Amino acid sequence: MFTKILIANRGEIACRVIKTARRMGIRTVAVYSEADAGARHVRLADEAVCIGAPPPRESYLVADKIIAAALATGAQAIHPGYGFLSENEDFAESCAKNGIVFIGPPVAAIRAMGSKSEAKKLMEKAGVPLTPGYHGDNQDPDFLRQQADGIGYPVLIKAAAGGGGKGMRAVDRSEDFLDALASCKREAASSFGDQHVLIEKYLQRPRHIEFQVFGDSHGNCVYLFERDCSVQRRHQKVLEEAPAPGMTPARRAAMGKAAVDAARAVGYVGAGTVEFIVPQGDAQDGTFYFMEMNTRLQVEHPVTEMITGLDLVEWQLKVGAGETLPLQQEQLTIRGHALEARIYAEDPDKGFLPSIGRLIHLAPPAETLHVRVDTGVEQDDEISPHYDPMIAKLIVWDESRERALARMLQALADYRVVGVSNNIGFLSRLVACPAFAQADLDTGLIERERAFLFPEAAEPPAEAWLVAALSELIRDQQYAAAEAVESRDPFSPWHARDGWRLNGNARREIRLRAGETEKVVNAGYGAGGFTLEFEGRHTTAAGRFAGSSELRVDLGGRRINVTVVSANEKRHVFIDGVSFIFAAIDPLFHAGSGGGAEGGLTAPMPGKVIALIAVVGARVEKGAPLLILEAMKMEHTITAPAAGIVKAFHFNVGEQVSDGAELVEFELGKT
């Protein structure tokens, strides 16, 4: 077994590998970019080596720097994690040439499965069923459109070297094909350095079911059952679960055999995932199609670990060291049900736009036998614009799917994130969605359940306003007490915040704003607490902070535990599993009436302009695409806010823009 390994990755997967390596007595070496100098994976590793500037192409994607770090530190093997160089055949080959074990499949297997087109040709020879489509080498746009026309719409354009939903577009009409193709090729070139695409029939309401496979260098190969990854957004997985709901033993055996056949066809060694697509309505006849094989560990591997009781990273390390698989197929069993939710720094109400910034407050649910949190960040860490904005993976397990869903809802309700926008509220609605709860699954679930998942913003309940006001009053008393201790006269009545006045108790006005709504809570001081008046109703209130943010509250005799986090003028109130954001308004501050120029369009986050769509001087309608910004490896189309005229672009193609930079000069209402 290895005594030291280098992990050629960052974030939660690097931390995940370190955890298993430490348990096995294996020392670890982390690599990091300048932006990750203080990152959690660097703090956890036994050693760490800086490999360059923040952009991945100058650090995490530079194979020579990683190989040099491994040689310099005496690492015997490299674990690539997932993403970055994990499926790069040249990197795997370079490891071998330098006498370093690549903890992954052989170079030939990566090469065979690295191109979706070539992989499908190989699977066809192996007898694995394929989705109808064109997987050839002719990349002429008109030829590809002819192929799509022949397949029949809708079709799916997919980057041959792709993954993670990048370089992928669904097309419903022939006249939209060329624009979608151009967008796919741009994204594929940016993400994978390869514009090659394939065309497939886009199946209506399919399920996405993948099988975990594992092979060793002694000819053994098994499948560790399936994961249902049907719940997706823009072809990126959002919720995963294992086993797949409704999976029969016969169908599991057939799909498992196909997965192992696919792995054996390329002489596979290590952890891999064979992904299948299952047409809607074909559950009875058992139809399924090979989609692709990922020659690495998957983001969602924890759900497989939870239902099998196995550590897949431990298996990787053992197989990488030349050992045989720890178990054979007949020894593998399923117990219970597991779900994984990806906690992202993103704003679901703004098209899931990634969010960056410091994690001012980060409190995940407590880890137990039923709840697991895999993360690469801690409180006060930064979500950087350079990398994927994942905060954590939240994994739960229980004896049945119904009980696992309840576990997930409670764990999401217990999650506290302040400092960046996040998708926790969206995930809670998704798990509670009747379609998901009833296992009515397909890759279009999020779109078809939009009314449930994206409700109109509701005003916070009265209880939340009262808690926010009470927290202001209690913190005010705490500050006064702290000032008194530090003063020359700690017993001076001027330090008191008890509302005492010569002719009676004083009252205080707490002014708060939630969104565009501003309201006032009037507070009266009393023995041991307050009387709060809100919208004509009076409520007795008292409370105390346990720590910096946990608040024990008594409202009118009802005792509740809440969290209130102060961040500048904002108050983040977490109550009954829901979070609300209030702004505390200082009545002595009067903001000016200035603002940005009407019609100015700004960058929602740092990125690079990759295409100017509109023509300067053109009259456009509301929603017309103006330019395309690439940020966090994804394309974001900036559209016209209303009918008007494009007056000027402030940046050229290829130029970097900062968050909030004005991109377009736009004149409203002149069409």
CA–CA separation, 226 and 209 (whole Å)? 7
Which range among 190-199, 242-251, 518-527, 594-603 shows the weakest confidence by mean pLDDT?
A: 594-603
CA angle 452, 457, 460 (to 5 degrees): 120
Sequence letter at residue 549:
S
What is the sign of the dihedral through the CA atoms of 499, 502, 507 and 510? negative
Query: Does residue 95 contact residue 67 with C-beta atoms inside 8 Å?
Result: yes
412, containing H or E segment = helix 401-413
CA–CA separation, 165 and 158 (whole Å)? 9
The arithmetic mean of pLDDT across residues 635-655, rounded, is: 87
CA–CA separation, 572 and 580 (whole Å)? 6
The arithmetic mean of pLDDT across residues 376-386, rounded, is: 93
Burial class (CB in 10 A: 0-12, 13-18, 19+), 310: middle
CA–CA separation, 71 and 400 (whole Å)? 47
397, containing H or E segment = strand 390-398
Phi, then psi, of 365 in degrees rounded to 5:
-65, 155
pLDDT of residue 633: 62
| Confidence band of 575 (pLDDT split at 50, 70, 90) | very high
**Active-site residue set:** 296
Q: Which of 605, 619, 614, 630 is nearest to 664 (CA)?
A: 614
The arithmetic mean of pLDDT across residues 398-402, rounded, is: 98
505 pLDDT above the threshold of 80? no
Burial class (CB in 10 A: 0-12, 13-18, 19+), 253: exposed
pLDDT of residue 587: 61
Q: In what order do the strands lie in the sheet with 4-7?
A: 47-50, 27-32, 4-7, 77-79, 101-102
Kindly state the percentage of the chain with pLDDT values over 70.
92
Query: Does residue 106 contact residue 114 with C-beta atoms inside 8 Å?
Result: no
Q: Which of 245, 249, 274 is nearest to 262 (CA)?
A: 274
Kindly state the percentage of the chain with pLDDT values over 90.
68
Bond prior to 365 in cis (omega within 30° of 0): no
Q: Which domains, from first to last, does the chain contain?
A: 4-103 (3.40.50.20), 132-201 (3.30.1490.20), 204-298+313-333 (3.30.470.20), 336-450 (3.30.470.20), 462-584 (3.30.700.30), 601-668 (2.40.50.100)
Mean pLDDT, all residues of the chain = 89
CA–CA separation, 211 and 66 (whole Å)? 31
Bond prior to 106 in cis (omega within 30° of 0): no
DSSP H stretches of helix in 11-115: 11-23, 40-44, 63-73, 89-97, 107-114
Neighbouring C-alpha atoms within 13 Å toward the C-beta of 666: 29
pTM, to two decimals: 0.82
pLDDT of residue 271: 97
284 pLDDT above the threshold of 60? no
451, containing H or E segment = helix 450-453
Tens-place pLDDT, residues 448-487:
999 999 998 889 999 999 999 999 999 888 887 777 666 6
The arithmetic mean of pLDDT across residues 232-246, rounded, is: 93
Sequence letter at residue 202:
Y
| Confidence band of 516 (pLDDT split at 50, 70, 90) | confident
The SS3 call for residue 330 is: helix
Tens-place pLDDT, residues 120-141:
888 888 888 888 889 888 999 9
500 pLDDT above the threshold of 80? no
- In the numeric block, the tokens 């009875």 are attached to 284
566 pLDDT above the threshold of 50? yes
Output the six-digit token pair for 402: 């119904």
281 pLDDT above the threshold of 70? no
Query: Does residue 159 contact residue 141 with C-beta atoms inside 8 Å?
Result: no
Residue with the bigger pLDDT between 459 and 193: it is: 459
35 pLDDT above the threshold of 90? yes
| Confidence band of 249 (pLDDT split at 50, 70, 90) | very high
CA–CA separation, 184 and 168 (whole Å)? 6
For residue 384, give the DSSP letter. -
Sequence letter at residue 248:
T
pLDDT of residue 169: 92
334 pLDDT above the threshold of 50? yes
503 pLDDT above the threshold of 60? no
- What is the Cα gyration radius of the chain? 28
Contacts of 61 (CB under 8 A, 6+ apart): 84, 85
Strand partners, 662: 602
Which range among 125-134, 225-234, 557-566 shows the weakest confidence by mean pLDDT?
A: 125-134
pLDDT of residue 596: 33
Tens-place pLDDT, residues 523-536:
998 878 899 999 99
Tens-place pLDDT, residues 302-311:
999 999 999 9
Residue with the bigger pLDDT between 585 and 329: it is: 329
502 pLDDT above the threshold of 70? no
